[in-house]
A = this chain, B = another copy of it.
Amino acid sequence: MTTGSRQRSRQQHDEIAHYLRTAIREGSFQPGDELPSEAELTQKFSSSRGPVRQALAALRGEGLISSGRGRRTVVLDNVLTQSFDDVISFSQWCRNAEIVPGQRTQWVARQPAERSLAASLRIADGDPVVSVFRLRLMDDVPAMVERLNYPLEVGRHVLAFDTDAGSIYQELLDRGVDIDRASRTIDAIGANEEDAKLLEVPVGTPLLRVRRRAFTGAGEIIESSDDRYLPWKASFTMNSTRGNPSSMSLVSTEHTAPA
């Protein structure tokens, strides 16, 4: 197979997946509807079966369509997926949900990394980091407290940016920072005094916590963050189908109860 046909095949499965995702999201295929058969899709896209199957495998992994074992493939009834931009950017996520994002920066600091932050960023204790602490709003209502930390090389772009102006993520992309992937850990934590004051809730209110690390393609860590959502403002949803391993894992943690 030539490089040309390889390239063509890559584009095709992306094109087919994009077509199906869009049709599902826009309601052309409703929950419970059968998808066109492999044969119909190969014909529609003048494709071989390989790209069609790759596209279907991708949509199964995203929880959009059924497992297809021994029956036709149908659209599932919870068809949300999230782009990588939405994973990283609160501003972007809000806009896609037709919510006006907002922020009130509490402080931006260049400071030495304390031990656990240094470990999370894989730098030495006391190496300089840039930290941002913001309250985030959804339609002008407090929804989340955000603690962002960057190694200095990335953080210098943040120091030069007006953090009340909007998306730091977009600014970093514009500055050429290669944000390629992210890992997230989700749990629950009670609001501390700082959280409680900004979110206007009592201390101890259960919050949905999302800790995130972002990486370049080469594996360098460029962000370590801690977002705490009011649970009546946001929750996570996910579909899983038999035969498709889930990319979200419940993991047992070794911690003991906080004192």
Chain A residues in the interface with B (C-beta under 8 A): 1, 6, 9-10, 13, 21, 32, 48-51, 53-54, 57-58, 61-63, 66-67, 69, 71, 74, 76-78, 80-84, 86-87, 93-94, 97, 99, 138, 179-190, 201, 204-210, 217, 219, 230-253, 255-258
If A185-B235, A189-B231 touch, whether A247 touches B6 (CB-CB below 8 Å) is: no
Could you say which residues of chain B place their CB within 8 Å of the CB of A66?
180-181, 217
Of B51, B94, B241, the contact of A181 (CB 8 Å cutoff)? B241
The docked-state distance in angstroms from the alpha carbon of A84 to that of B179 is 30
Q: Which residue of chain B lies nearest to A251 when distances are taken between CB atoms in the complex?
A: B237
Could you say which residues of chain B place their CB within 8 Å of the CB of A233?
252-253
If A67-B181, A188-B231 touch, whether A236 touches B217 (CB-CB below 8 Å) is: no
The docked-state distance in angstroms from the alpha carbon of A81 to that of B248 is 6
Verify A248–B247 contact, CB threshold 8 A. yes
Could you say which residues of chain B place their CB within 8 Å of the CB of A77?
183, 219
26 contacts between A and B (CB under 8 A): A9-B49, A50-B53, A66-B180, A66-B181, A66-B217, A67-B181, A69-B217, A77-B219, A80-B251, A81-B249, A84-B241, A97-B252, A179-B242, A180-B242, A181-B240, A183-B237, A186-B235, A186-B237, A187-B208, A188-B206, A190-B206, A206-B206, A236-B249, A238-B247, A246-B247, A248-B248
